[in-house]
Amino acid sequence: MSKIPGGTYGILASGQSIYDYSATPCCAVGTRLPMGDRVFYYGMVSTTVARGELLAPDSTDGGPWVLAVDGSCVAITAANSIFGKEIGEPDKAIPAAMAVGQRRIGITHADKLDGIIAHQLKDGYIFLNDTGGVQQVYKIKDNGAHSGVTTDVVEILLYDEVRAVTVDASCSVCIMQNGYMNLALCDSAVDEGFVSGVAMAPGTTTYPYIWVQTWGPSVVSSHTSTAHAGTNMVLSTTAGKATIESTGDILPVIGWGICDVATAGDGAPIDLRIRP
C-alpha cells in the first residue's frame, strides 16, 4: 500500500486519499488535483451525499444567483467598510456606481444573501452586467458577513481592480461562491448550467471534505438501465444521477458512456468531460 494517502499516480500527491472523507480540510476548497488522465477538485458538502453522485453548489446557500436587475450594487461608507484598511483605503468609501481601479464592491438583496458568513464567497465569482459595454467577471478574494455592518449588505473584495466603470448604480449582478463549496446533489431543474463533478467518497456535514472528479474514467450513479455505451450522458431529473441525452435536451453533456448498465441505480462507467 502506498505510504502517501493520495496515491502517487499522477503529477501531485494529496494529503487525503481521493477515496476518503475528512472532518477537516487537507487543502483549500477548490484545489485542483491532476492524476494522469483524471482530474479531481477538493470539495466541501453541505448535506449527505453518496459516492458516485453528481454534485453542484447548493443554490440555497451561496449561489449562483442573479441578485437583481437593478440596485444590486450599493454604496458603503468608509467607516462601515471592512476591507479598506487591508488594501490601504481606510478613508475611502465604496461608491454604488463602480469606478475603474476599485477592488471593493457593496452588494445588496432583500433575502438571497441571508446567512452569508464571512469568507464564504472566497474564490467565487461576481458577474457585472450593464448597458454601455459593461460585461465583466471578477474573482472574489474575500467577503464580509451578511449585514455585518449594514442591513442586507455584503462587502466584496476582489483580487483584481475593476477595469470598466459601471454606467450607474443599477448594475445587474450575478454572484456565486467557489464552485466546490457547499456542494449538494445536482438537480436538472435547478443546476442545469453548473455541475461540479462526481463525489469520490460519501460526505456528510460531520465529514464534509471529499474529492470530486471532473475528468476521465469514473463511475456515476445512473437513473436508468438503458444501454449507455457510446452515448452522451447528461444530468438526470433525479437529483445526483446521470442519464442518456435525449432529443431536445438542452442540458450540458457531462461525458459519454463507456459500457452498459444492468440495473437502474447502478454506477455507470462514464468518461467525464466536466472540467479539465
Both 189 and 131 in one domain: the answer is no
Q: Which of 22-36, 104-118, 121-135 is modeled with the greatest confidence?
A: 22-36
DSSP the chain: --SSTT-SSSS---SS-TT--BSS-SS-TT-EEEETTEEEEEEEBSS-B-TT-EEEE-TTSS--EEEESSS-EE-B-TTT-SSTGGGT-TT-PBPSS--TT--EEEEE-SSTTTTPPTTTTTT-EEEEEETTTEEEEEEEEEEPPTTSSSTTEEEEEESS---S--SSS--EEEEE--TTSSEEE--TTT-TT---EEESS-B-SSS-EEEEEEEEEEEEEBS--S--TT-EEEE-SSTT-EEE--TT--SPEEEEESS--SSTTSEEEEEEES--
Q: Are residues 85 and 169 in the same domain?
A: yes
Residue 150 in domain: yes
**Structural domain that includes position 250:** 32-58+181-273
Assess whether 76 and 158 both reside in one domain.
Answer: yes
Q: Choose one of 126, 145, 176: the last residue of a domain.
A: 176
Q: Which residue did the predictor score with more confidence, 260 or 62? A: 260
Tell me whether residue 246 is in a domain.
yes
Question: Based on the domain organization, do 91 and 74 belong to the same domain?
Answer: yes
Residue 19 lies in a domain: no
Final residue in a domain of this structure, among 176, 191, 206: 176
**pLDDT tens string 134-191:** 788 999 999 999 876 777 889 999 999 988 877 666 778 888 889 899 899 987 666 5
pLDDT band at 9 (very low <50, low <70, confident <90, very high): very low
Same domain, 215 and 78: no
This prediction's pTM: 0.83
Do 163 and 72 fall within a single domain?
A: yes
pLDDT in tens, 80-107: 999 999 999 999 999 988 888 999 999 8
Instruction: Tell which wins on pLDDT, 79 or 150.
Output: 79
Domain count, the chain: 2
